[in-house]
Amino acid sequence: MDKTRYSNFYPILLLLLIYTSVSIGQPSKIVIAHRGASGYLPEHTLAAKALAHGMGAHYIEQDIVLSKDDQPIILHDIHLQAVTNVAEVFPSRARADEKYYAIDFDLAEIKRMKVTKRSDIEKNTIVYPKRFPPHQSTFQIPTLSEEIELIQGLNHSTGKPVGLYVEIKAPTWHQQHGKDISQVVLKTLNEYGYTKRDDLVYVQCFDPFETRRMRKVLKTDLKLVQLIGFNHPNSEIDYEQMMLSSGLKLIAGYADGIGPSMQHIVKGIQKDGQPILSSLVQDAHRLNLEIHPYTLIADRLPPQVSDFDHLLRIFFLDADVDGIFTDFPDLAVRFLNNQGSGIRPEDRTTSDRATAWLDQHLRMNQIQAIGSHNSFKETIDPSLMQIIRQLDPDTADSLDYEHVSLTEQLDLGLRQLELDLFYDPEGGRYANPYGITAAKGMNLPPGPPYDAEGKMKNPGFKVLHVQDIDFRSNCLTFKDALKEVHQWSKVHPRHTPILITINTKESVIDQLNFVQPLPFDRQAFDRLDQEILGVFEISELIVPDRVRGDYQTLETAITAGQWPTLKESRGKVFFALDAGQEKIDIYKDSHPSLQGRILFVDAEEGQPEAAFRVINDPIENQQYIQDLVLKGYLVRTRADADTKEARTGDTTRLEAALTSGAHFISTDYYLPENKFGTNYWVQLPTQTPVRFNPNFFLDNLSSSLLE
373 as an active site residue: the answer is: no
Number of residues that this document lists for the chain? 707
Write down the pLDDT at residue 121.
Answer: 81
Q: pLDDT tier at 18 (50, 70, 90 boundaries)?
A: very low
Average pLDDT over residues 669-674: 87
The residue among 360 and 168 whose pLDDT is bigger is 168
Write down the pLDDT at residue 354.
Answer: 52
Average pLDDT over residues 312-323: 92
Q: pLDDT tier at 285 (50, 70, 90 boundaries)?
A: very high
Tell whether the model's pLDDT for residue 19 goes beyond 80: no
Cα 508 from Cα 118, distance rounded (Å):
77
Q: CA distances (Å), 367 to each of 412, 631, 635, 687, in order?
A: 17, 14, 11, 14
Cα 162 from Cα 31, distance rounded (Å):
10
463 beta partners: 421
Q: pLDDT tier at 492 (50, 70, 90 boundaries)?
A: confident
The H-or-E segment that residue 33 falls in is strand 30-33
Low-confidence winner among 103-107, 294-298, 303-307 (lowest mean pLDDT): 303-307
Write down the pLDDT at residue 357.
Answer: 65
Tell whether the model's pLDDT for residue 7 goes beyond 70: no
Tell whether the model's pLDDT for residue 17 goes beyond 50: no
| pTM, to two decimals | 0.56
Cα 319 from Cα 436, distance rounded (Å):
58
Cα 227 from Cα 239, distance rounded (Å):
9
Cα 6 from Cα 395, distance rounded (Å):
44
pLDDT tens, position by position, 213-271: 999 999 999 999 999 999 998 888 999 999 999 999 999 999 999 999 999 999 998 88
Average pLDDT over residues 477-485: 97
Among candidate residues 53, 76, 79, 663, the one labeled active-site is 76
pLDDT tens, position by position, 543-579: 999 999 999 999 999 999 999 998 899 999 999 999 9
Average pLDDT over residues 606-615: 97
pLDDT tens, position by position, 430-475: 999 999 998 888 888 988 999 999 999 999 999 999 999 999 999 9
Among candidate residues 34, 53, 292, 465, the one labeled active-site is 34
680 beta partners: 673
Cα 141 from Cα 116, distance rounded (Å):
10
Type of residue found at 561: G
The H-or-E segment that residue 262 falls in is helix 262-265
Write down the pLDDT at residue 348.
Answer: 37
Per DSSP bridges, beta strands 201-205 and 163-168 are parallel
Tell whether the model's pLDDT for residue 109 goes beyond 50: yes
76 as an active site residue: the answer is: yes
